Each structure stands twice: as structure tokens, then as C-alpha cells.
Structure 1
Amino acid sequence: MTKFDFLSDTQKTWHYMDVDQVLAALESSIEGLSYVNARQRLRHFGANKLPRSRPISKVLIQPLINPLTYLLLGSAIYLQWNGAEGWALISVGVLHSGVGICLALWSIKTKEKVSRDRPQRRQNEPSNSVMVLRDREEMEVPSRDLVLGDVMVLREGDRPNVDLRLLETSEDLRVNQTNLGGEAICSKRPDLTFEEKTPPLECSNMIYAGTEISAGSAKGIVIATSRFTQEQAALVKEKPFSVIHSELRQLRQVWIGLLLLVTTTAIGFAWQRGITINAMTAAALIVSTYPQNLLRIATQVQLFGMRDLAKQRIWARFPSILDTIARVTTIVPIVESDVVLSFDDLSRAGIEWQGLIRASEDDSVAFSEVIGIKTHSYFDAPQEKIRQWQDSRQKSRQKPLNVVAVIGNDIEDIPLLRAADVGICDRTCRKELQDSSGIILPKEDFHYLPTAILEGRATFDRLQRTALLTATSSFTLAVLTLMDTAAGFSMPPLQIIWVGAIATPIVAFPLVLEPTHESLLTQPAHRFQTMLRPSNYLRILLAVTATITAISVVFWLKYQGQAAMFSQARSMAFVTLGFSQIFHACAIARRSIVSNLPLVFGITFIAICQIAFVQVPWFGDLMATVPLSGVEWAISILSATAVFWVQELIKTS
């Protein structure tokens, strides 16, 4: 038992204790700790530093602590031991792990770049030095040297990075808890106590890390540092995924369900025919159809969106804001009666304007006639109106949900910004207002909004097209495996791995690097509400059907039940399958493929590999293919364009 074991309990209900009990529990006093005692506690507990969210070392070792890594490794070793191509599974696993690590490191660097470019960054950071009482005297110490039991002196503008139980306060003390989701301006009193189950932000005898002293002064005793603060606990509990991430996770669950269904059905067909299903084929199907790194790609694309907005002096405070601004259907500015307004017409984008004016209802009606948008009185239950706009959702599934953005400019607007789906203010507003907003404009100019909405829609669109291409490839491979098993054939596992785990990601990733397309701002809002909508399922179904039909026609026209033609027929089907990914990517690209160099390089690489896999004897032995004639190549490639024409037909319908 060590000298400071009594400080190891970080879960005490400090708000439930009075001042004397807190001082006794921490073995401190109203005059603070002695310098020697503080240094001893610092050596025992370590510096008051926030943990790094994603250190590079953690990113590098992540594949090594993932149980799926060892499951894949064990399966590969077992299959290799039994004469299958287990080495291919290991190679693909290493490849995707390397790509995942690169994406994670890329995301870290992009976050740092966005953080450096954000407005008023330094004003929002806690101070590097603080005032504490040591040996009954005020002294300035580095914030990293704060320890449990320190008595800290707070003044206007201070932003502590520790949790404090208040000991003394001035009468005019006001604390801004916006960053933690609390009230913008609230008073604090040290002589109060609260029930044990009282929510933290309702305990007015506490000051938490991440808050700011808006007015007055206070003394508080440190009760939590580093990762044990309320702010860090809230970050851990906070849902880490945005709307797009959640939808991709749902799509991944559909993938897993499909794999289970296909595997079970294939085993049934194999049992009925009295044959044993190829374990290597099943393993290749799982590795090739599982959406590797799709969530990491989504994070990186959102960070790209934040970076592009920052270049235009628009700050999106969180990646999830890009999801919300893409789905906005109602924009509500809060204006004064004497303001001169200018709005962009966003009706073609399915977005309407609804104003709130700080005037009477009669004046708001007159104001509506002047500016041309429907305006309501700010003093007539504005939060209820926002809820009405949000809840007036169409019963028909084809209609979009109402997503409301509110533009505020006064401290009184904070409740409305929080009630909205996304709050918006400009850089001249007070910090309390900025802390309650999701998007901060460079100045009070509504013409910046179309830029933010367009970037949000572009982010959504890039991820949607990447997910559609990946899903189509996965479902195509699953159906082909099922058809082969039902027909008594066996699709070569290396062909499945090449198309699903290598070729498809190579042509899918460049789609997220495309520049923003201006036409997205003229498309209806319902296209950006969710990726899991019936029209997308229909697009996947039509693309899978077109690809499967083209492959089946090519195979059976060549095969026609003749065993001697089986190798040529399977090689032609493989070429059709591989080139289908190329034509599908070309069809769903927003811009000309010539303007997207990564896509050009990806298409060229895949085309060269497809030719080598068929025409080069060594690769032919590996991929179970045979050389084809010029006519057979032409037939196979022309058949692969079926998915391209289907996608073009969808665009024009």
C-alpha cells in the first residue's frame, strides 16, 4: 500500500459532498497543497496530459491485436497445408492491412491540417499555465503539473483542463458549458450539494474540463485530471460514427448476412449433389466480398470535405456535420427587422427558406412580403416551430425527411441552434454561439451556404458511388459462386480474390478523389437523405443482373455442354467479370475519366493484369485460364459493357 492510495478512487460523487468532506477526502486544505506534497503526487500519478486519440503506434499495431487477423492467418495456413492457395489469403490480408494503416495515418495528418486551419483555434485551447495555491501563496505552474488536491484560481477567460469542486466564487461568476452540451451561461455556487445521481452538467458546485469562465472568478479543488475528466468520459461514451458511417455499418451487416445465406445454400447444393464444397472458394468469397476499409475511407472523405471547406474559409466543426448539411431541406435564418437580406434560390435542390424575425407576428408577415420568404415571429414559440418543421415528415417513403438548419447571431439563439439538426453562425459571433454551432461562416453572408451544402452533398455522393460499386461487385461474386455450385462447377478462388479484393478497390477508391460536381446542387434533396433507399437497391440489382447475364451468356455460348470448351468458356467469363468492374466505374464517375488520373491508372493496371492473367502461360496456370483469340477477347469485353449501358439507361430515365 502506497502513500497516495486514498486518491485512486476516481469515481467519487464529489458533487454530493460538502467542501469540508472534499478537502478531507483529498487530504488538502483551502490554502492548497504544499510544494513538496504536490511534487510527490505528480511523480506518483504522472503529468496532467490528455491521451492521444490515435497515436501512430496504436495504428501500426492494430492489425496485430485484431482477432480476425489470426482467424485469417489460421485459415490460410490450414488451406495451404491441404494443398489450396492459402498464400493468396495471407497476401490479400497483408495488402488490406497495409492500406488500412495508410488510410489511418492519412486521416491523422488530415485532421492535424484541418485543426491548424480552423478559425480562432488558439482562443479555444486551454492555457498552458494556470494559477494555483502552493504553500498558501498563488503561483503560476504549467497545467501539466496539476494534481489531485490542488487548489486552482480561475478568472474570466480561463478554460481549465481538469475537473474542479468549487470552494469559493464571486457573486458574478458565470461559466460557459456549451462545449460539453450544457447551458451557454450558468451560475455556480460552492455551498450547494446534489443527489448522487444528478447529471454532471446540472451540478452547479462543479466546473468541468472544457468549460470556460465567462465572468467572475472562483477557487476550486482539482478532483479529476487527464483521461479521468468528465470531458474525456463524454468523448468515450459519444457515438464515434456519423450517419454515413452508421449506414455503411448496416450495409456491412447485409453483406455478412448474404455471405451466410450463400454459404449455407452452396453447402446445401453440394450435399444434394454428393460433393464437398471447396473450402478455399468459401474463404476467397468471404475475403473478397467483405467491405475492407470502407469505414476508414468514409472518414478520410469527410476530412477531405472539411479541408475543402476550410480553404473557402468555412469551418465544419465535426465530420458528421457534412452528413447533416448534405440532407438539409429547410434553412431558418434568425434576423433583425432592419437587416438587408439576400438569398440564393435553392428550390431546385429541394431546400426552402423559413425566417425567424425579432418582431411581432404582424411585422413578420409584412417582412415576408418584402423579402419573398415565409417569416415567423421570433417571440412566438420558435423552438416549437423548429420541431414542427422537423416533424412534418412525409408519410410517403419517396419523400425526404425534413432536416432543419438554423442560422443564429445572438447568445439568445443558442437553444434554437441546439434544437436544429445543424446550427450555423459566422466568425464574428461570440464563442458561446460558435461552440453551439456545427458550421461557422467567415462572415454574415448567406451566399456561403450553397458552398457548404454542395460540399456536404459531394461527400455523400462520393461515398455512395464507392459503396454501390463495391456492393455490386460483392453481390455479383456471391451469386456467381452460388450458380457455379448449383451447376456443379467450381469458380477458381484466385479469380474471386483478384476481382473482389484487388480489382474492385482499385477502381472504386479513385471515385472518392473526384472534384466536387456543381450539378449536385440542382438535384432533389431525397437523393442525399440516405444511401439505404430503394432506388439504390434497384441500381445494385440491375447492375448485378446485367453482369451476371453477360457472364452467363458468354460462358454458355462458348461451352454448350462440351467439356473441351470449358477452359475457354471459363476464361472468357473471367475476362467479362474483370472488365465489368472497369465499365461500371466509368459509368458512375461524375466527370470524364480522363480528368481523374488515379482512375485512369487503375483502369490501365487492371486491364494489363487481365490480359496477362489470360495470355501469359505462367499466370494462366495460376488463375486457371487459357489464352483466347482476338474474337473471343472482343466478345468478352463487349459483353462486359452491359453494366455500362444499364447505368447509362438509369441516368436518362
Structure 2
Amino acid sequence: MNTNKPWHSLTKEETFSEMGSSPVGLTNNEAEDRLVKIGPNEIQAVKRTSAWKILLEQFKNILILILLIATIISLFLGHGVESIAIGVIVLFAVVLGFVQEYRAERAIEALREMAAPTASVFRDGVEINIPSRDLVPGDVILLHTGDRIPADSRLLDAVNLQVVEAALTGESVPVEKHIQPLVGDDLPVGDRKNMVYAGTAATYGRGKAIVVATGMQTEFGKIAKLLQTIETGKTPLQINLDKVGTVLARAAIVVVALIVALGLVRGQPFIEMLIFGIALAVAVVPEALPAVVTISLAIGVQKMVKRNALIRKLPAVETLGSTSVICSDKTGTLTKDEMTVQQLFAGGQLFHVTGSGYDPIGEYKLSDETVVKPTKALIQMLTAAVLASDTQLVSSGEGSAKTWHIKGDPTEGALIVAASKAGLEKDQLDLTFPRLQEIPFSSETKRMTTLHQTPDGIIAYAKGAPEMILSSCDSILTPDGIKPLDEKTRQDVLSAALGMAEKALRVLAMANKQNATLENAQTGMTFL
């Protein structure tokens, strides 16, 4: 079975034929046979580093080796106190480095093994949930909003399916998927709109796909394989410490040779002069330097841990601290894949929103930087944005370690965070105004409309592209209440949207309608 074919250019029928599968998936027996032949669907980690290896790595330092030699010589010369002192310093530096790197290795392994994901798959024609690691090429899987894609797959069905591929391509905007074959065998990954890839996530819609690659054969696996072949070089600090150790070692040899030579010229006994020269050579070595360096790096590691960054090797902290320039291309590959609302235009006023990411902490300001409380018009707009969204804002951890993330579409997540900054919580709004029906987003309508039960009757809320929302409206919410939407006002709204777009902002509009039904929900709306 060849898993390297240009699957995006094949039809569904050709894909089934190549994979030896069918629309109802594989049988359990066939899947088990393929699992034995191909292996589990997981990224193969490099061989686990043993505790002994981590410990021995601490001795790959010229200064440590010199100090060990100095300890032995001091003990041999009868200087017990000095040898014990040097030995304690060496032991402290070695143990501290070992403990830090061992804990980092185990923490990384724990993260890798945490919560094995599952996948919805057809086996013997029946939909079941299995661990993602048990997927094999030829399996037919089902995808829903919020699902993480378990393996590289060719889409068979896609209903308004959108997938965030930021982890693979760097693009934070969800990609709309379809099932039509594409022309060109060498299309870039980001242009293969009929494919979904392991490590990405479905943020909207649903779909059905056939697995074409698993484990190390996936696009993610290929990246992991490249990373595993990278050779780790020494950091500037390690290089300089090695230079210092080398210089000290040579200096020690020179000192011993000079002392012995001068002593012999003066007629001193050879052994006596040798011992004296070695004692001076030991004095040259800065016993505390390795310990000071290790402690300094360990402090840096602890500070990084508090910022949720695991450092596997102590010297890596020094390399990170020496970084002065970070280069990134225009796709924003180094972004956090978190969208944030920057500006809101509601009730004839432009509001600026502070804060970044998904942390729901921020303020609303006017153009003159005056902090203001959200107006009624702003509250209505944010209510519409939240109710016409499916994404959830969730937190993990406690206290200073508390972090926020979303389950769903990044754009909807940004709207929900903006609403939370204004005191509007999605869970509470969903309970207060339960959703009755919805008209899902599509690439044709470029909007999503939901109908909710409220004390004032059924209200429809919509969000989408400004031009599409405006075309559904015949009135607009102003500081003086709801007014008819004339042509001049319509152009003013479009100009405001264009101004935001020119600042590289993604622009959405909201609207609502009182006493709505599913049939008339998207006509005669009020622009918010």
C-alpha cells in the first residue's frame, strides 16, 4: 500500500480503490492486520534518555574533569579538607544539573502521554470510538466541530467544514474544505483543500474522510523525523567554559613543568618538587565556577517553568538569553494562533479593546484613550456575537498558573473573549436565551444566524461579512435608538469597515431581528 500518492488529485472512487477500502470503512480483522503491518498511529519519539546517561552527561565538562583530578590529587597529597571541599562543589554542580534535566525529561514524557485522543471510525459498517493510535490507512473517520484531526485523510464529505491548520502552515484563519479533486500533484499542503492533516483541528461544520497516512508517514510525522535528525551543538557558554578549562589545564601542566625544572636545577628532590608543582596547579583551578554556572542556569530554568516553558538542557537557557533577533515570515508562523478583538464600532462610536490572547482581562477605550463602560449598543452587539457563536472559552490551572484557551473557531473565540471583558459570559447567555434553530455559516452566504427564545419573543442574531449583513438590514441601532438604514448610513458603515480592513483587521458585522422565524430571519434585520 503506497501512502505517498497525491491523494488530493484523486477522486473518492480512486482513493477507495488505492486504499482497498469502501464508504463503510474496514472490517475489524482487516484493520488489525494493517495495524500489525504498518504500526500504531503515533509519532515515534526518540529513544528515552536513561537516568544514567543524563548523569554521565554532567561530566562532559572540562572544568568538572579538572576538578575531579584535583580532588584525587589533593587526597593523594594528604589534603583531606581541600579534597572534600572540592568534591562537595563538584557533587553539588553535577547533582543540580542532573535533577533539573531529569525532571524536564520526565515532564516532557508525561505531556506526550497525557490523555490519548480518540477518533470516530467505521468498523464493520458501524460507527465506534477508538484510540487514535489504532487508526490505519483505509479507515473511514467522522469529523465534528472541535475534533482534532487524528491522521492525514482525504475528505469524502464536507458540510461547511473549516479546519485550523496553524500548527502545520502557520495560517491562523480556518480553511474551508471541499471534496473535489484538485489539479497538480505537487500542490503545497496549504492548498490541498480536500485534505485534512494530523495535528490540525476542525473548528466548524462536519465531515467524513478516509485515512491515507498515519504515524511517521503523516505531514506532522515527516516534520518530527526531520527534527530528530538535527544535531545538537554546544552553546556559546559551553564553548567558552571548555576554552577556560583547556587554558587552565595547559597552564597547570606548564606550572608543574616549570616548578619541577627549577627545583631540579637547584638540586631539590624530584618527588618533592613534583608534589609542590601539582599543589600549585590545583590552586589555579576555580573550584566554585561550575557550581556558580549551574546555579545561575537553574535559576533561569525555574523562571522559564513559571512561564510554562520546559527546558530540557540547562545550557539552552543561556542560548535563549543570547537571542537578539527572531526572524518570521509574513504568514506569522511564530504567532500563538490566538485572535483578539481590537476595535468595535457600535451605536456610532468606535471602541478600542485592550488585552491580548484569550485571557478575558481588558478595558474598553474611546479614541482619546478614555476608559468607558460598555454602552447599551455595545452590549447588544456583543450579545449577538456571542449567541451566534458555537465556540467555548475554557480555563485550566489555578492562580498564577491559570491559562485560557478556546474550543472551536479562533474568530468566534476572540468575540467571546471581548464579550467577557464587558461582563457577558457565554454560558450564562446560552442559558438565559436558549437557541431554538440556526442557519449555519456557508461560503455562499458568509454569515451565521441563530434564533433564540427571549422574554421579548424569538429574536434572530446574525454575524458575518459586513456587506452580507448590511444587505439583510433595513434599520440600524444608533445612540438615539433604531433608525431606518438609508443609503448614506449604509455607505458610512461600509467606510468604517473598510477603514478597519486597511489596518489589516478582520472585520465582522452583527445584526438582530425581533419576532423572527426561520423563514424570515435573514431579512428586515437591525444592524448593530
Given the two structures, how large is their TM-score scaled by the length of structure 1? Answer: 0.38
More helix by share: 1
